[in-house]
A and B are shown apart, each in its own frame.
Chain A
């Protein structure tokens, strides 16, 4: 029987980790330019089917790769190895994170012609780490959605089944890594927008603790929930990327003044120590709505942890059922405020029909925003409006306290919590497009993590009979990303799911 992932692996670098690619470049058997050329060729070959990118700048990427090769050659002449952790590694960037001189559309008509005047902090840090910033990756408009169908410029396809969605909102980032169009990518996660597409596309996706990574230069959706994080081929690659982008930034006052550990080394040390993790399984995450094949794959992964000698015990997160309702009050309230800046005056779309000042707002926003963005702005405006604030917004903030308290209570007895990332595998395009509530319910397992500000990661943990990927979510304690990554790496080492590539 032929399964999608048993197809012959093409003779390219698609399955190599950042460590392996770096070793080849250091040994001189691969140059950054050659790697970039290969990705450009790969991207051109599959983009017609996948459509992960809103745009890419081939000449700019190759120039960055050339500069990287020159830096490496310069270091070699001085008898040194390359010192930058991502030297020559092409990293795709979600089209909601600024890269100076490149388009920044948020997949919205509102910003169709916008060009970033400056770099986001994460972009600066990637460049400092030697990475090649590669392309502008598709998303649900302003990161609002779970399928990347809400893009004004066209939906992205799941590389494992082109009829299905890649998840969202960072669907372009997940699909580009899965399809071999980028070695790694950055996305943003407000309610699951990194972890859910990572699960649906069989790649690793990490949402760091709120405050671990600067949000400066990220187009704001819900500022108390948004966090930037990496997509990668392996947990160790994600560790290297997190190390490059994490850290305090005076330009984001919510970024924390905590030292950034060497995550990759920390993961190796914890692996060597043979530490037996205490893992919590929240019973509320395994009930109604969970696809049986997803449930079985996650149970099998939990069994793998038991076989490693980890202590697995049931925990309770009693307010889980209220997470989505809480989220759709808080996130929409914050988005209605954040997106007020798109007024057609200083940047972004301005209606040609507008005749006076108010008219500019009403018509530019009507023409520039898509349906889901309008729905959320209206809902958020309502829950903040006079007479409703206490009933909706304040109450939701209090329930948020209870949801966070559930997790902190559980962490008194476990190191991490293990769950499915998404209740179902990738759904068909169009299946939930007309039913916003059904789309929202898809985020049931990921949203609580954002409300509580915790780090969470999805790692590939199997496939359904139809060949669709399943993701395992591991939820860590605040600012303990090293432990979170180590728990993921321990599973990855004993399984082969992360090596699979889709037949494209």
Chain B
């Protein structure tokens, strides 16, 4: 496992979160501490161990392919920040 070499600007950019200078300083030290703690997992011998994604894996859950009622347009748009003509409004993305 690599050391705590978290490049905060890069990772925050991947996470799509703008951080203030203050947050960057604080998170760098706090997350550094957490990553040092997490590094103890290096001690564990995991050779030959299968990973667990779910404690009780459920596979191939099939559903009948029949239409079900969904949200009405009104309900779907009810919490939208900006709406026009039954659509979500966002800034222009293509010039």
Is B one of A's binding partners?
A: yes
A117 touching B75, Cβ below 8 Å: yes
The answer to whether B49 touches A401 (Cβ under 8 A) is yes
List A contacts of B27 (CB < 8 A). 374-375, 378
Beyond A118-B71, A395-B46, is A437–B34 a contact (Cβ under 8 Å)?
yes
Closest to B60 in A: A253
Q: Which of A35-43, A119-127, A180-188, A362-370 contacts B (4 or more CB under 8 A)?
A: A362-370
Shortest CB-to-CB span from B11 to chain A, Å, is 5
Contacts of B80 in A (CB 8 A): 346-347
B34 touches A366 (CB 8 A): no
Which residues of A have CB within 8 Å of B14? 381, 385
Query: Could you tell me the distance in whole angstroms from the C-beta of A353 to the nearest C-beta in chain B?
Result: 10
- Segment 375-401 of A: residues with Cβ below 8 Å from B: 375, 377-379, 381-382, 385, 387-388, 391-392, 394-401
Contact pick for A371, options B23, B49, B90, CB 8 Å: B23
Most buried by B among A118, A322, A382: A382
Would you call A224 and B53 a contact (CB within 8 A)? Answer: yes
Which residue of chain A is the closest to B94 with respect to CB atoms?
A357
Residues in A whose Cβ lies below 8 Å from that of B56: 209-211, 254, 256, 453, 478
Whether A365 contacts B11 by the Cβ 8 Å rule is no
A378 touches B8 (CB 8 A): yes
Q: How far is the CB of B73 from chain A (nearest CB, A)?
A: 11
In this assembly, does B84 line the interface, its C-beta being within 8 Å of a C-beta of chain A? no
CB <8 Å contact, B58 and A400: no
Which residues of B sit under 8 angstroms from A118, Cβ to Cβ? 71, 75
| Residue A355, interface by CB 8 Å | yes
Q: Is the CB of A440 within 8 A of B34?
A: yes
Instruction: Check A362–B49 contact: CB distance below 8 A.
Output: no
Assembled-state Cα–Cα distance A336/B11 (Å): 11
* In the assembled complex, A348 has its CB within 8 A of some CB on chain B: yes
A residues with CB within 8 A of B: 113-115, 117-118, 209-211, 224, 250, 253-254, 256, 319, 321-322, 324-326, 328-329, 336, 340, 343-350, 354-363, 365-366, 369, 371, 374-375, 377-379, 381-382, 385, 387-388, 391-392, 394-402, 404, 436-437, 440, 451-454, 478
Given contacts A369-B17, A381-B14, A398-B49, 6 further A-B contacts (CB under 8 A): A211-B58, A319-B44, A347-B79, A347-B81, A350-B82, A356-B93
